[in-house]
Structure 1
Amino acid sequence: MLITLLFAVAILTGSLLGVTGIELPTDPLILVLVGAIFFTLRLGSLRSLRRVPRTILVALATNFLLIPLIALPLTLALPSEALRLGVLIYCLAPCTDWFLGFTRLAGGDTVAGAALIPLQMLIQLLMYPMWMMLFAGESVAWMPETAGATLVQWFLVPAGLGIIAQVLMPRRLRRFEIDAVDAAVPFVIAAVIVAIFAGNVQTILADPGSFIWVLLAVFLFFVVTFALCEGLARVFRLDHAAHVLVTMTTSARNAPLMLALTTIALPDQPLVHAAIILGMLVEFPHLTALTHLMRRRAPRHALAA
């Protein structure tokens, strides 16, 4: 309940700051969050990765095979081609950073989640030119150096620093420091939420009519994906940790990266950019609600872990 309240306050604070024109840096906070999550990973548990290929495969298949089938019909009702394209781009790319923080808070499998990050980032970078060709009729050259630089910046550097810091920590202090950083993770996520809302809430105020349509489409997207994950959890008999991971990775989207790529690919399409931003602003209340729900469902030992 306290975490839900913390995130609700963060959303309100960021919105108020955004109304007054105050913006905060987002990228450094996301990098700190990824580094903190990897710092708190129990490295001994990495051996368990060999037991979770099914969870990873379910998550990848859902994100890259099933979600496009959900997103495409949901966007057809939007009133303009630009909004349709923006929401579609937003829905197609799974998150590669903050979903792991929400997964941890809800007692999910962060070890498998950590393995998902580079896989999902690489797949969406490879598929982005194809999405643009299919849905926008735009030819976008995929450059290996761009994908490599993105992977290094957003995954390898913060993850590597987090793991190295844990390994170099004196053994007698390691457990204390890990617990301290773990306790700080909700506040780092809250800071990310404040920064994102502060930097983007003006988009809502600039075009409230478009926001209503995007809000409806993204809300329906989240409702359908949540129902899908509930069904998958039953079909594949996922335990709580795997269930949370699949739910969070399908509910969090990679809006910052997609916005950056789309701004380069379609520089003269502000409505497309706005739709991606608006989707992200709907996402955090949804993730907050999911975290609250999953924590209520979690066995006590899952949250203690």
Structure 2
Amino acid sequence: MLRGRVRVLSASSRAGFITALFLVAILVGSLLGVFAPAAAGVAGGLTDPLILVLVGCLFFTLRFERVSELRRAPRTVLLALGMNFLLVPVLAVALTALLPEEALRLGVLIYCLAPCTDWFLGFTRLAGGDTVIGGALIPVQMALQLTLYPVWLAVFSGYRVDAMLDTVSPTLLTWFVVPAAVGLGARLLLRLTAPTAWRNLAVAGGDRLVPFVIAAVIVGIFAGNVETILADLAAFGWVLLVVFLFFVATFLLGNAIARLCRLRHAEHAVLTMTTSARNAPLMLAVTAVALPDQPLVHAAIVLGMLIEFPHLTVLTHLLRRSASRVPSPGVRRLAEQE
């Protein structure tokens, strides 16, 4: 029990640290843009190589070995994929209609449409969820969201799908195939040459590096575009409100589906986490390349991350409390016999 509380505290502390890190990155980037234009230019120039590093790190830490476990609980897998790629897009389109500007709507949509492929698994474990199913979902959901990204962008930005595929796909190919191949190649090389303990240490190091790379990207984005962003701060207040409403709605929807389908707690927890956490790092990297002259879109994606970590921490506590009220299988069997 004590160990479980320590783990929850650790996850909460890490989530709080990452949120604070992103806030500091926004502040530093904004101050550079306003008071140090020369330094802001340098920071902005580093954004592109940092995106390459970010994509490489994300693919280096990706785990493919659990894909075979998708057969273990097909109902939960289908529910997760159905929510993330059918119900969540409908919900996101409805909520982003509240936003006052097209660029902000597009940024929040991009943020909401991509399910998380990394940190949600840690919160799933802490909430008592099925991490085997969660881990198996990661590569499948990453492949689906990258495949659908040009289509979503075409649908929601008003371009024809074929035109968007013609313009965006070569850029994504150039910017993501290379760093992804480097990340996956390094992982394969590590697997062939290093002991298991060293491999685990290297992957854990890559996981810890990702938030700092994201923070550096945020500094570059805000340093180069702070004047545009500061021109309408009220609009970004609407972004925070819409993202908050999105998280509340996905939580309520996930709870309703879990009760309707009578999911076990472990299945309920993984469904809740995978439909609540979003893949902002990858979407920020993809969008910064695909739409390089859209600072409002980039800023909307970043702001979503600031709410996400406190939200996931609260969900962890709610799910653990819910699990503590569920009787053990032995108690349930005894009650049924009576």
Determine whether 1:77 maps to 2:98.
yes
Matched residue count: 291
Paired AA for residue 236 in structure 1: C
> Which residue number corresponds to residue 74 of structure 2?
53
Gaps in structure 2 of 5+ consecutive residues: 1-8, 33-42, 325-338
Distance 1:290 1:6 in 2: 15
1:41-67, Cα deviation, whole Å (9 max, x unpaired): 9x7x87654222222111100011111
> Which residue number corresponds to residue 224 of structure 1?
249
Gaps in structure 1 of 5+ consecutive residues: 300-305
Distance 1:33 1:106 in 2: 23
Q: TM-score, normalised by structure 2?
A: 0.67
Determine whether 1:100 maps to 2:108.
no
Paired AA for residue 165 in structure 2: A
Determine whether 1:5 maps to 2:2.
no
Distance 2:73 2:245 in 1: 30
CA contact (8 A) 1:96 1:121 kept: yes
CA contact (8 A) 2:67 2:136 kept: no
Q: Structure 1 pair 295/48, CA: closer, same or farther in 2 (3 Å)?
A: same
1:77-128, Cα deviation, whole Å (9 max, x unpaired): 1112221222122211222233233333433333222322232222223322
Q: Structure 1 pair 6/271, CA: closer, same or farther in 2 (3 Å)?
A: closer
> Which residue number corresponds to residue 284 of structure 2?
259
Aligned-pair Cα RMSD in Å: 4.0
Q: Structure 1 pair 115/294, CA: closer, same or farther in 2 (3 Å)?
A: same
1:89 paired residue among 97, 105, 110: 110
Determine whether 1:16 maps to 2:49.
no
Which entry has the higher C-alpha Rg, 1 or 2?
2
User: How much does 1:201 deviate?
Assistant: 7.1
Paired AA for residue 75 in structure 1: T
CA contact (8 A) 2:111 2:280 kept: yes
User: How much does 1:224 deviate?
Assistant: 0.2
Distance 1:192 1:286 in 2: 22
Q: Structure 1 pair 205/156, CA: closer, same or farther in 2 (3 Å)?
A: same
Q: TM-score, normalised by structure 1?
A: 0.73
Distance 1:159 1:145 in 2: 20
1:113-153, Cα deviation, whole Å (9 max, x unpaired): 23222322222233223323322211311687777788867
1:62 paired residue among 68, 83, 94: 83
Distance 2:179 2:131 in 1: 17
User: How much does 1:249 deviate?
Assistant: 1.5
**Identity of counterpart residues, as a percentage?**
49
